[in-house]
Chain A
Amino acid sequence: MNFYGLGVLAGLVLGILIIVVLLIFTKKNHSLRGKYDERQLIAQGKGYKYAFFTMLIYFSGLVVLDLTETFAVNAILLLPGVLLGVIVYVNYAIFSDAYFALNEAANRCFVIFIIAAAMNLLSGIIQIVDDIKLNNPIDEVNLYSIFVGVTVLEVLIVLVIKKVIDRKADREE
């Protein structure tokens, strides 16, 4: 294995470690797994179904565009399809009160989402601005950062909207 391969492997291991730490950090009982009740699991199942069909339509559309040669489909368009599925699932779960587990500390998740959105958006924008300044072609990896940053930001905004709606509903009851 060359140094590039070792670097990728080290990055993957570090990424998995960070995810494990964050999963434990966001749980009230420091468990790795989230505990969901039966209504939440049913709602999540519906969310997965809608996300699956969204991705199916998106990727079918890409195939049609590619076959009919109406649009040059390249690898950069694959990630938005996956992220679109994530957005559909997460938004459905949030509005069905099925996103946060029973043992999950929502406030800690908010902090992580803010950091994740800021890190991805900032790193992507800074790198792209540098590329433009230096007249370099824009690196696709930086576009991936922006796609992920926008997705996390969208989830964050939806979480805030849901929180406002819930507070309003609680006051009315």
Chain B
Amino acid sequence: MKNLKLKAARAGLDMSQEDLAKTVGVSRQTINAIEKGDYNPSINLCISICKALGKTLDEIFWEV
């Protein structure tokens, strides 16, 4: 399932996939795969992404 909340949060901060990838120390393709729902990140990577975007885990990764 696509993670549109991650894409929206990233776009809200005017960050590209490349910018977010560099901030959390992964490849751009990994951020792309998470947004497309092709890859389930580890909890450590989820936390890093949330910190980079200034969001909580629930806001980005919890499906309602």
Chain B 32-64 interface 0/1 with A at a Cβ cutoff of 8 Å (1 = within):
010000010110010000000000000000000
Question: Are A40 and B27 in contact (CB-based, < 8 A)?
Answer: yes
Q: How large is the interface on B (under 10, 10 to 19, 20 to 34, 35 or more residues)?
A: 10 to 19
A80 to B32, CA, bound (A): 36
CB distance from A102 to the nearest CB of B (A): 6
CB distance from B44 to the nearest CB of A (A): 8
A residues contacting the other copy or chain, number (CB 8 A): 6
Question: Are A97 and B27 in contact (CB-based, < 8 A)?
Answer: yes
A107 to B28, CA, bound (A): 17
List A contacts of B42 (CB < 8 A).
Answer: 38
Interface of B is mostly: loop
CB distance from B2 to the nearest CB of A (A): 13
CB distance from A41 to the nearest CB of B (A): 11
A163 at the B interface (CB under 8 A)? no
Question: Are A38 and B29 in contact (CB-based, < 8 A)?
Answer: no
Question: Are B26 and A38 in contact (CB-based, < 8 A)?
Answer: yes
Residue of B nearest to A42 (CB): B39
A163 to B30, CA, bound (A): 16
Question: Are B39 and A37 in contact (CB-based, < 8 A)?
Answer: no
A33 at the B interface (CB under 8 A)? no
List B contacts of A39 (CB < 8 A).
Answer: 26-27, 29-30, 33, 39, 41
List B contacts of A37 (CB < 8 A).
Answer: 25-27, 30, 45
Question: Are A102 and B27 in contact (CB-based, < 8 A)?
Answer: yes
Chain A 96-122 interface 0/1 with B at a Cβ cutoff of 8 Å (1 = within):
010000100000000000000000000
Question: Are A102 and B29 in contact (CB-based, < 8 A)?
Answer: no
List residues of A whose CB falls within 8 A of some B CB. Answer: 37-40, 97, 102
16 A-B pairs in the complex with CB atoms less than 8 angstroms apart: A37-B25, A37-B26, A37-B27, A37-B30, A38-B26, A38-B45, A39-B26, A39-B29, A39-B30, A39-B33, A39-B41, A40-B27, A40-B30, A97-B29, A102-B25, A102-B27
What 15 additional pairs, Cβ within 8 angstroms, besides A38-B30, A38-B45? A37-B25, A37-B27, A37-B30, A37-B45, A38-B26, A38-B42, A39-B26, A39-B27, A39-B30, A39-B39, A39-B41, A40-B30, A97-B30, A102-B26, A102-B27
